[in-house]
Amino acid sequence: MTQGERKIRIVLGTATPGGGFPAYGWPYAEVLNATDPTLAIEPVNTKGSTENVPRLERGDLDLGLATGEVTYEAISGISRPKAENLRIINATYSQAGMFMVRADSPYRSISDLKGKPVVWGAGTSGFIVLARYVMDGLGLDMKKDFAAILLEKAGDGPPLVLDGRAAAMWGGGVGWPPFMAIAKGPKGARFIAPSADEIKRIQGKHSFLKPNVLPAGSYPGQAGPVNSVGSWPFVLARASLPDEVAYRLARALHRGHAVLSGKLAQAKESTLENTLAAAPRRDLIHPGVLEYMREIGLLSKESVGTKSDKLLG
């Protein structure tokens, strides 16, 4: 940072304590701040995706983490007015929904869990939205067909599974803290995910959900990959975030990616290449991010947007 350059304060909404978004948001802020000393990203706990999106639209947050399903509903205007004040900074990591049960559980399929107590997660989490779509694709209602348990914060879920009060917990993604807590429990853990036929049924009704694979070894005792459906969460920005700031964020992420990946395994997927592929539409990516993509050759040097030399003054 040159003399006279001020730090740019940026508030990043994550989610409830103990969940995946706080586990991502704090290292993300730490690495990007260190990579570009002009950045001062401040992660804050929120209720998750369903709080972050409206706060971004109102301009109450600068950045916010949101699941792909919540982002999809917002930009599509599903059950709400269409969001116009959201832009993508980067895709975080691929995330497929599935259940985790104790290794000694008698349950082997989603139908086995019908009528059983299931922890769906924090009530305002984007995982709840994913669960609703996945269950609907199977002709199920997550609240009516299961003894649904909704939490104040995601970290409250693992003890319920570990002591047998709940049969399973819903979640996903590599290294998700609640799943890690269950997997490290004395009984160990295993996954219940949609079968190949169930995945086809889910996609037949909700085509925006994509096949996704949780790699083997993502959790202790996980010998093989787990197939399911899901999407990519995003670091979203309010549309009014200045292009220069978005450019700096993209540049810091790109330059600091190796360090971030060393702190957080799932952040290996947090690349600008994956962002370009995961974005529902190109115009949803922040113009400042698109400009940095052009600068590093991910996009052609088309005459769209502000040039980086102007962005950085």
Q: What pLDDT, on the 0 to 100 scale, is given for residue 290?
A: 98
Q: What pLDDT, on the 0 to 100 scale, is given for residue 307?
A: 39
Q: What pLDDT, on the 0 to 100 scale, is given for residue 311?
A: 41
Q: For domain 95-231, give its CATH number from 3.30.1330.120, 3.30.43.10, 3.40.50.720, 3.40.190.10.
A: 3.40.190.10
Class of domain 8-93+232-311: alpha beta
d(CA 46, CA 18): 12
User: Which DSSP state fits 113?
Assistant: G
Using 50 as the pLDDT threshold, list the residues of the chain that sit under it: 1-3, 303-313
Name residue, tokens 């949609």. 194
**Which tens digit of pLDDT belongs to each residue from 67-99?**
998 999 999 999 888 999 999 999 999 888 999
Please name which of 34, 50, 26 lies closest in space to residue 1, comparing C-alpha atoms.
Answer: 34
d(CA 62, CA 58): 10
Name residue, tokens 């950085």. 312
Q: What pLDDT, on the 0 to 100 scale, is given for residue 173?
A: 86
Q: What pLDDT, on the 0 to 100 scale, is given for residue 4?
A: 53
Q: What pLDDT, on the 0 to 100 scale, is given for residue 85?
A: 95
Q: Does the fold of domain 95-231 match that of domain 8-93+232-311?
A: yes
Side chain identity, residue 101: V
Q: What pLDDT, on the 0 to 100 scale, is given for residue 2?
A: 47
Q: Where are the domains of the chain?
A: 8-93+232-311, 95-231
Residue 191 tokens, joined: 């996954």
Q: What pLDDT, on the 0 to 100 scale, is given for residue 3?
A: 46
Residue 104 tokens, joined: 């000694």
b/e per residue 22-41 (b: at least 16 CB within 10 A): bbbbbbbbbbbbebbeebeb
The residue length of the chain stands at 313
d(CA 287, CA 306): 8
150 burial via Cβ count (<10 Å: 0-12, 13-18, 19+): middle
